[in-house]
Structure 1
Amino acid sequence: MRISTVTMFEQSTASMNRQQSDLMKVSQQIASGRRVVNPSDDPQAASRAVGVDQAKAVTEQYSDARISARNSLSQSESILNSVSDAVTSAKTLLIQASSDTLSDVDRESIASELKGVYETMLGQANATDGNGRYLFGGYKDNAPPFVKDAEGNVQYQGDSNTREQRVDASRLLPVNDNGETIFKSVPSGAGYVAEAKREDGSLNEGNVTFGGPQIRDVGDANYGEDFRVTFTSDNEFNIETFDGTDWNAVQTDVYTGDQDGSAQQVSYAGVTLTLQGAPVAGDSILASQAGSDQREPDLFRTMEEAIRVLENPADTATKKADLRNTLNTAMRDLDNSLDNVLTVRASAGARLNELDVIDAVGSNRMLNYEQTLSDLVDLDYAEAISEYSLRQVGMQAAQKAFVDIKGLSLFNYM
């Protein structure tokens, strides 16, 4: 078989090009630090690497979301700490105001200080985050959640939802609590609270004061049921319960708490009220489970009632009874509010701890992705350098062979 000179040149050129291509490929790998520079280098590894890259990007997004969630929860937790301090300060002031040695001027001074605590609470309830969104308005975060109406009473204008953020593929985490949960709720298991008011909501006209309510028997068949003591005369009262539509008398008794300064204990549903003083027909003492429909919890209303009674002189027996009863009710409400705020704060702290756990899991996941990606596309430098040296030798051999073949001629031997 005859091999033409053109064929020899073409084969030599092809060999050199192939060796040069292999050398360039290894050079690119060393320069980039990657074994798979182009998808054609290893189609299967390149395909798997794309999937790992996407999973890695999603994990990084969740990591950024956790940073945002942690900032919101940390800010909320800090504000809740301030609210609990304010409630404690208010309770301290009410205990001080309960002293019989104080004059009307002294109580008015305490009311002025209590107003400052009240305004502080209102400011904290309307706190915003770094983006100007209100923290405690639920999803209605573009306006203050707590506003004063025309009568000066604070009303909640937010919604009952809780803003949530996805911090991991399987976890949608609440990052803020709404204002109702914090300022208009009580913890589960809160006891009874009593309030002295007539059926129409006006103040009692007599001077009956109450002590308690004290829980005597949680095993009573009616325990947990709201009831009220309504005076039908100065020496008789009814115990009434609410059937969902109206109040109905379930028991009638004689009242002796206004005789000789003695006190009378009234019991129902395993709960006891201690009553003392002279009533007027229509006066009423409501004993309701904290957080029930008959008396919905409201921290701001509690503060407003306490400020009202401290600002007005207690110069009559009726006003003195109102002072004692209102402070008694307010202190119980503040105890329940403090427990509730601390419960919400503990929940925020638990969510912060959960974020730490999710962060740790996310970090481990990122390490696994990095290792998998490295196994798929990263370069083994020792192997690549050896390959590079081998390709250099191959390239030099191809060049030397071409030079030798190019110089062959029969005329050199003639």
Structure 2
Amino acid sequence: MRVTNNLIYDQSSRAIGQSNEKILKTQEKISAQTDIVKPSDNPVGASQILMYGDSTDRLKMFDESIKMAKSNLEYQEVALESLNGFMDRVRTLFIQAQNDINTQEDIDAIVQEISLINESMAELMNSRSADGSYIFAGTDTLSPAFIQDTEGRYLWNGNEGQKYAQISEDMRVPVTDSGKKLFQDIWTNRTFRTELLTGDVSLTAKVQSQGDFQEYMDEYYDPEVPSVNEYQLVTSPLVDDGSEPDSTLTQSDSKEDRDRRRSFFGEPGNYSITNSQGDVVASGSYRAGKPINFNGMSFLLQGKPGASVDFALVPPRRDNVLNEINRTLDTLSNEDSTYQQREEAFLNATASLNNAQQKIGEARSSVGARLNTLQVREEFSSANQLSNAVAQDRIGGLDMAEAATNLSMKEAALDASQKVFTRISNLSLFNKM
């Protein structure tokens, strides 16, 4: 076989070109910092790297959702904490206002401070997140959660929906809470109404023990049949002729002694309480001027026995805690309000504050639990992304030291090939002639 110059040139040129391609490929791997630049380098490894990359991209997308959810919940947590602090301050001021040494000027100063706090609480109930959304308005986040009517009452203006954040393929977390549940639908102080039917007496009735009365309401109040909630209290003297034969009750030996005791302790008598069916639910003896207690309710009748009083359980009512506070402030601002009216106003406001703070406490616990869930999910996402990166590096990772060594060797081989090609291309028989 005759080796021609053209054959030698073609082979040398091809070898140099292949060396160049190897160098460029190695440089490309070093630049991309991966051993698999294109699928043909390692088809199976390339598909696995794409799979891990897609998983990481999904995790990063959920990370953005987690960040948004944490931001909303943190805004909500701050608002709830501030509201709870304001309510503690209002409660303290109401306790201070009940001091009998306060003048009306002192009361007015307390009313003014509570009014300012009430306005601050209203502003917190209409809190906005960083993007301007109302966080307590449900899903209608473009409108304020609460508005005021012409009489200054706070009304619910949102809806009861919740916004959710998708933090994984199978998990959603609520990022808002309805202000209607937290602030608007607050149980007010439960009470009852009375009407004096007969008897020359003065009647004072109030809830003496809110706990006992609430238990009784929970068990016996019937919202569907109002008549079931009606009762009658009847008092009667011990005997019709005014004598008191039972000395163990009166502890008297003569009529003069009995008269003196009656003027001091009050007229003795009996009482009975019947329900709407006529059944006696409570009975006993009492003295006029001393309270008759019945399941947390107290009836004080000043005068001789022989009176009848109708009373009924008032339907439980829900209202915004701010409205209940404002009603109490109106009572305190009225110089003509009686001690009993002010005491009742204090009780009403305190009951609403207690119930509102209970709701806020439950909401803060729920928000904290959700924030913990987001934190755990965020840590899980970071660990998964790290695991994906390790797997990708294990499959297509490039050993930079080895790649640099290979590049140097290939560059040296190319340089040698170029030198050999130069010498071979200069070979000619004419050089020997």
Q: Could you list the per-position Cα deviations for residues 70-103 of structure 1 after superposition, in whole angstroms to 9, with x for gaps in the alignment?
A: 2222221111111111211222222233344545
- Bigger radius of gyration among the two: 2
Aligned partner (choices 216, 221, 226) of residue 221 of structure 2: 226
TM-score w.r.t. structure 1 length? 0.79
Which residue number corresponds to residue 54 of structure 1? 54
Q: In 2, Cα distance between the equivalents of 1:233 and 1:266?
A: 10
Moved more, 177-186 or 253-262: 253-262
Which residue number corresponds to residue 266 of structure 1? 294
* Mapped pair 1:313 → 2:335: yes
Distance 1:9 1:225, change over 3 A: farther
Distance 1:61 1:411, change over 3 A: same
Whether the aligned pair in 2 keeps the contact of 1:206 and 1:283 (CA below 8 Å) is: no
Residues 4-403 of structure 1 aligned to structure 2 (within 5 Å): 4-102=4-102, 106-185=106-185, 193-197=189-193, 207-215=204-212, 224-226=219-221, 230=230, 251=279, 260-267=288-295, 272-277=296-301, 284-286=312-314, 294-296=316-318, 298-314=320-336, 319-403=338-422
Whether the aligned pair in 1 keeps the contact of 2:190 and 2:214 (CA below 8 Å) is: no
- The one-letter amino acid of 1:60's match is K
Q: In 2, Cα distance between the equivalents of 1:112 and 1:230?
A: 40
Residue 20 of structure 1: CA displacement? 1.6
TM-score w.r.t. structure 2 length? 0.75
Distance 1:322 1:251, change over 3 A: farther
Residue 193 of structure 1: CA displacement? 4.7
* 2:293 alignment partner, SS class: strand
Moved more, 167-176 or 399-408: 399-408
Q: Could you list the per-position Cα deviations for residues 310-332 of structure 1 after superposition, in whole angstroms to 9, with x for gaps in the alignment?
A: 223355xxx44333233223212
* 2:317 alignment partner, SS class: coil
Root mean square deviation, CA, Å: 3.6
Distance 1:351 1:254, change over 3 A: closer
* 1:214 alignment partner, SS class: helix
Distance 1:98 1:210, change over 3 A: farther
Q: In 2, Cα distance between the equivalents of 1:250 and 1:171?
A: 58
Q: In 2, Cα distance between the equivalents of 1:35 and 1:357?
A: 34
* 1:172 alignment partner, SS class: strand
Q: In 2, Cα distance between the equivalents of 1:9 and 1:163?
A: 74
Whether the aligned pair in 1 keeps the contact of 2:126 and 2:145 (CA below 8 Å) is: yes
* 2:210 alignment partner, SS class: strand
Whether the aligned pair in 2 keeps the contact of 1:257 and 1:277 (CA below 8 Å) is: no
Residue 231 of structure 1: CA displacement? 6.0
Q: Identify unmatched segments of 5+ residues in structure 1.
A: 200-204, 241-247, 289-293
* 1:209 alignment partner, SS class: strand
Moved more, 70-79 or 397-406: 397-406
Q: In 2, Cα distance between the equivalents of 1:195 and 1:8?
A: 112
Q: Identify unmatched segments of 5+ residues in structure 2.
A: 196-201, 223-227, 236-270
Identity among equivalent pairs (%): 21
- The structure with the greater share of residues assigned to helix is 2
Q: Could you list the per-position Cα deviations for residues 243-286 of structure 1 after superposition, in whole angstroms to 9, with x for gaps in the alignment?
A: xxxxx66855689999632111213xxxx333335799665453
Moved more, 154-163 or 209-218: 209-218
Q: In 2, Cα distance between the equivalents of 1:86 and 1:79?
A: 11
Alignment coverage as a number of residue pairs: 383
* 1:194 alignment partner, SS class: coil
Residue 135 of structure 1: CA displacement? 1.4
Whether the aligned pair in 1 keeps the contact of 2:107 and 2:332 (CA below 8 Å) is: yes
- The one-letter amino acid of 2:183's match is F
Q: In 1, Cα distance between the equivalents of 2:282 and 2:419?
A: 126
- The one-letter amino acid of 2:370's match is R
- The one-letter amino acid of 2:165's match is Q
Q: In 1, Cα distance between the equivalents of 2:126 and 2:178?
A: 11
Residue 297 of structure 1: CA displacement? 5.0
Distance 1:277 1:168, change over 3 A: farther
Whether the aligned pair in 2 keeps the contact of 1:257 and 1:263 (CA below 8 Å) is: no
Whether the aligned pair in 2 keeps the contact of 1:213 and 1:274 (CA below 8 Å) is: no
Whether the aligned pair in 1 keeps the contact of 2:205 and 2:298 (CA below 8 Å) is: no
Q: In 2, Cα distance between the equivalents of 1:234 and 1:45?
A: 93
Distance 1:302 1:238, change over 3 A: farther
* 1:334 alignment partner, SS class: helix
Moved more, 387-396 or 253-262: 253-262
Residue 196 of structure 1: CA displacement? 4.1
Distance 1:250 1:379, change over 3 A: farther
Whether the aligned pair in 2 keeps the contact of 1:137 and 1:145 (CA below 8 Å) is: yes
Residue 155 of structure 1: CA displacement? 0.8
Q: In 2, Cα distance between the equivalents of 1:298 and 1:256?
A: 40
Q: In 2, Cα distance between the equivalents of 1:302 and 1:335?
A: 12
Q: In 2, Cα distance between the equivalents of 1:280 and 1:324?
A: 25
* 2:208 alignment partner, SS class: strand
